[in-house]
Chain A
Amino acid sequence: MSDHNSPTPGHKLVLLGINHNTAPLDVRERLAIPAGRLADATRTLVHQPGIREGLILSTCNRVEILTLQEDAPAADNHTPADLPRFLHEYFSVTPAALQPHLYEFREREAIRHLFRVASSLDSMVLGEPQILGQVKESYTVAREVGAVQSNLEALLQRTFTVAKRVRTETHIGSSSVSIASVAVDLARKIFGSLQGKTVLIVGAGKMADLAARHLIQQGATSILVANRTESRAQQIADEFRSPTCTTAVIPFDSLYDQAERADIVITSTGSPQKIFSRSHGQHFLQRRRSRPMFFIDIAVPRDVDPSMNQVEGCFVYDIDDLQQVAASHLADRSREAEAAENIITNEVAKYQQRLISRDAVPAILALQQAAEAIREAELARAAKRLGNLTPEQQAAIDALTRSLTAKLLHPQLTALRQSARNHDED
């Protein structure tokens, strides 16, 4: 591969890493770098021989090292960069334990991989939004320790732009894929804003807790808790109480008299029988003057009779329904990923084109400066022979020589640019 793919001539871009696809959790754990140690690791990386610039991305699903390395010929008594050795020494992991899980990308492929990672196309959950923030954090740390300079700076800025473009021009991150966020999405489709909405939690459970927290984040301001054990209900209510969210405990015996106060009901009891029947739904809707109610039934066996969904204004989703919606969103994301891959292919090509043009710049400048020096020297010599010229005559000769030089140089400059492109294609 030609070094015209590199950010600068004489250097090569190398990305080495492991991720959730290539390494099991126990291997990834051994390479994981806590946020507090990232600066030290990055500093150690750029002090390795042969490395000019570097960045380390460490998340729960990947550890990747992006470096700009010196690409000097072997005869130059030059120590090449050895990233596997760095990993081995820094993390005290034997090369044999790491080697089968490592992947390496160079030049164009490294750029493509970086764009894909930041755009969340290489994530375990396609389209998840956290990865871009994590790449930005790594960049900030690397910049602070001086590991990112002009070359990686340009590449990373482009990476952020590409990731933003993917997010705005595709729907890759627009649909929820977790049960709790799907429940919130559905609630928003019914109620629009969740501001001021009341949520009733019947029973207790991790998923119910998570769903309620998502709903509060989206604006729900009141939580009612009903549990057969009143002290447990009180404990849950206390956990949710905050300046923006009021809570109250409903005695389980008066559940059917008070449930209609809630816009959203999350049920998660261990009851073998149904807690809410269709007639309960009709009763609630009548008392709510047909204002809709959303039942999120996370319990197995179910707490809400599925036939309640037929009552006009009652919307009942059980765990299977929520999972089905999440799966369909995941399928949507896969379709959007195709469009995102096209954007990335296009952006990689554009980025390379910019690098190539930049490579040709020093030669173009040198040629222009040499031509200008000749022009000025010839002009000075001719001036002696021409004697006293009026300012208009001087300006006309100056313009004439400039025009001649530009026209003579034009084919050479075009050839230089074209040659840089051809060289890269070879």
Chain B
Amino acid sequence: MPVFWLKLAVLLYGVASLAVLPAALFDRPRWRHIAIPTAFTALFFHFVALAEMLNAAHHTLPVDRHETQSLLALLLVAAFLIVYASYRTVALGIFILPIAVLLTLGPAFSPSQETILLPHSGWIFLHIALLLAAYAALFLSLLASLLYLIQERRLKSKLPAIRFVAYFETPLDLLDQIATKTLIFGLPCMTAGLLIGSALAEQTIGPSYFLDPKILLAFAMWVAYVAMIFIRRSSGLRGRRAVYLSSFIFLVILTVWAANQLSSVHRFTAP
């Protein structure tokens, strides 16, 4: 049954991904009225599917690759809907909704067969959920910065608007607010996520855990994240340089993610 709900959610994410294109590119309110409720319904089914999936596996945290992917997609769509509710912009949906489809395709159509070994389930759930929320926040911030760059270039070029992008115009100030606020939202999530993870590792593995280069990379990611927020706040970094900086941090996060997937230290699945 959870897989059925997830398949339904994937289908609805797909519909929302298509509906959001005319809504954002051509400013068609009718399509926005289809895209947003569809995305919201998909999010609901996705939540039901994830909850049932975790419950059926007799654990309450996403630990295998598919479950984590699914939770990340859920957080991304939730973040998109929160941004929509706050700023009434659907532009981010052009990227977020198709990414949600891609992230949920695997869990929906080829469910994992891995066996899970679970230590400290409650705290680990927080550790994973908080870090995923931080990733989602950074990804949204990067998207908003990219859109800022596109919009800035378009305004500076002064060329008559190409029809395809004529309405793809979220105001610069609003994009900057989204980029900064999502980034700031991600910081406590990442900090708490890393602290909980460290405390758990200290208890289960001991100090040797902190000598793992992957763990050191995770802390480097946190330092870079804090540095980025500091630079943005102090110098009012916007546009091209903000995109470069966000992209760099995102690359570090992707590296940490990949390392987590490959590392034998940081796994809960049975060998």
Contacts and interface: CB of A to CB of B under 8 A. Distances in A.
A317 interface: yes
A110 to B, nearest CB: 32
Interface residues of A, number: 26
B239 A312 contact: yes
A324 B155 CA distance: 13
Contacts of B237: 290
B213 interface: no
Interface string A264-293: 000000000000000000000000111110
Contacts of A331: 160
Nearest to A335: B163
B166 A190 contact: no
A189 interface: yes
A191 B171 CA distance: 6
A292 B152 CA distance: 10
B155 A186 contact: yes
Contacts of A341: none
Interface in A323-346: 324-325, 327-328, 331-332
B72 to A, nearest CB: 30
B178 to A, nearest CB: 11
Contacts of A325: 158, 160
Contacts of B67: none
A217 B158 CA distance: 25
Given A189-B151, A190-B172, A332-B166, A317 B158 contact: yes
Residue in B169, B237, B238, B240 whose Cβ sees the most chain A Cβ within 10 Å: B238
A343 to B, nearest CB: 15
A174 B172 CA distance: 20
B161 interface: yes
B113 to A, nearest CB: 49
Contacts of A317: 158
A291 B166 contact: no
Contacts of A312: 152, 238-241
Given A312-B238, A313-B238, A292 B173 contact: yes
A321 interface: yes
A188 interface: yes
A240 interface: no
A192 interface: yes
B235 interface: yes
Nearest to A317: B158
A191 B239 contact: no
A385 to B, nearest CB: 65
A395 to B, nearest CB: 50
B235 A191 contact: no
Contacts of A139: none
Nearest to A312: B239
Interface string A186-213: 1011111000000000000000000000
A69 B240 CA distance: 68
Contact of A192 (B27, B152, B173): B173
A332 B160 CA distance: 10
A115 interface: no
B58 interface: no
A313 B166 CA distance: 21
Interface in B136-193: 151-152, 155-156, 158, 160-161, 163, 166, 169, 171-174
B160 A289 contact: no
Contacts of A290: 235-238
Contact of A324 (B27, B158, B238): B158
Contacts of A332: 163, 166
B28 to A, nearest CB: 9
Nearest to A168: B29
Contacts of B238: 290, 292, 312-313
A309 interface: yes
Residue in A186, A190, A290, A310 whose Cβ sees the most chain B Cβ within 10 Å: A290
7 contacts: A192-B171, A291-B236, A313-B238, A315-B156, A317-B158, A324-B158, A325-B160
Interface of A: 171, 174, 186, 188-192, 288-292, 309-310, 312-313, 315, 317, 321, 324-325, 327-328, 331-332
